[in-house]
Amino acid sequence: MEKLIITAAICGAEVKKEHNQAVPYTIEEIAREAKSAYDAGASIIHLHVREDDGTPTQSKKRFQECIDAIKGVCPDVIIQPSTGGAVGMTDEDRLQSIFVNPKPEFATLDCGSCNFGGDEVFVNTDNTIKNFAQTMLENNIKPEIEVFDKGMIDIAMRVFKKRLLKAPLHFNFVLGVQMSGTIRDLSFMVDSIPSDSTWTGTGIGKTEFKIAAASIIMGGHVRVGFEDNIYIEKGKLAKSNGELVEKVVRIAREFNREIASPDEARKLLYFGS
Ligand code: KMH
Ligand code: ZN
């Protein structure tokens, strides 16, 4: 089987220090958490940024500062800025994260709207998706298609048919937000994408390591991190993103999946093609 690409979603926009003290807010904390994940085996950092008080922001300046700090401690890591940001942000704000210098190699493209708990709805209209896809295409940024339920694959395929996405596509299946975190749902997603695609499995909350293990066995790639889950095991907070990545590496070893370096991940994901 191919080497395993591990993405670390180190920060997110929703989780707070009140949930786990190690959640990073400052530039130094973001760099510390990125390095812990990279040292443990992550080749991709999925990046949200915060103000020092923890407020989520899509400020280009803050992204630039955080990216420069991460590159200072792990120069070859792939940085994947979020264009999802936080619920309620405008499209214009959300897209600021990709206008850093140099342009990122990779960024998220959320391909539909979904419920985000309580009264929150994460809105991605068809026009938003097309606009974001076109902007990424024009700037030579590979999109990671974020899929919170099956309809989002169908939306992505319609955008693909309009030539706003280039094959081979890369999908990230996020289970446990809208669709449930079951192996049945993961299998259905995997069976629903073009056969030349690559994919990552992300389980939210207590489904994180179940979805990680299933993705490892099924030949996909894995995302873990504080954005998705703050526990290393039931009732025990993770000390760092690195600790979460280490656990994935241990599971992967049991199934003979070697871990991809950032350059190997670039090839496996067909960057530049
Ligand atoms: N924070 C969520 C509202 C992404 O990064 O593209 C959106 C999100 C998806 O996390
Ligand atoms: Zn995110």
Stretch 129-146: mean pLDDT: 98
Report helix, strand or coil for 197: coil
Stretch 162-176: mean pLDDT: 98
For 63-102, how does the pLDDT look when each residue is reduced to its tens digit (9 = 90+)?
A: 999 999 999 999 999 999 999 999 999 999 999 999 999 9
Using the mean position of ligand 1's atoms as its centre, give its distance from the Cα of residue 84 in Å.
Answer: 4
Domain assignment present for 154: yes
pLDDT for res 16: 98
Decide: 82 in ligand 1 pocket, CB within 6 A.
yes
CATH code where residue 248 lies: 3.20.20.70
Q: How confident is residue 117, by pLDDT bands cut at 50, 70 and 90?
A: very high
The answer to whether the beta carbons of residues 6 and 265 sit under 8 Å apart is no
Domain assignment present for 131: yes
Q: What residue owns the CA closest to ligand 1's atom 1?
A: 86
pLDDT for res 272: 86
What mean pLDDT, rounded, does the chain reach?
98
Decide: 144 in ligand 1 pocket, CB within 6 A.
no
Report helix, strand or coil for 127: helix
Domain assignment present for 256: yes
Domain assignment present for 47: yes
Using the mean position of ligand 1's atoms as its centre, give its distance from the Cα of residue 39 in Å.
Answer: 24
pLDDT for res 230: 98
Q: Which two tokens stand for residue 50?
A: 């915060």
Q: What residue owns the CA closest to ligand 1's atom 9?
A: 84
Q: Which two tokens stand for residue 40?
A: 């443990």
Q: What residue owns the CA closest to ligand 1's atom 6?
A: 84
| Number of domain units in the chain | 1
Decide: 87 in ligand 1 pocket, CB within 6 A.
yes
Tell me which H or E stretch contains 7. strand 6-9
Q: How confident is residue 273, by pLDDT bands cut at 50, 70 and 90?
A: confident
Domain assignment present for 227: yes
DSSP state letters, 159-216: HHHTTSS-SSPEEEEEESSSS---HHHHHHHHHTS-TT-EEEEEE-GGGHHHHHHHHH
Domain assignment present for 74: yes
Q: What residue owns the CA closest to ligand 1's atom 4?
A: 84
For 186-244, how does the pLDDT look when each residue is reduced to its tens digit (9 = 90+)?
A: 999 999 999 999 999 999 999 999 999 999 999 999 999 999 999 999 999 999 999 99
pLDDT for res 49: 98
Domain assignment present for 273: no
The DSSP code for 180 is -
User: How far, in Å, CA of 38 to CA of 44, rounded?
Assistant: 8
Give the domain extent around 137.
6-268
Domain assignment present for 1: no
pLDDT for res 167: 98
* Percent residues over pLDDT 90 in the chain: 99
pLDDT for res 187: 98
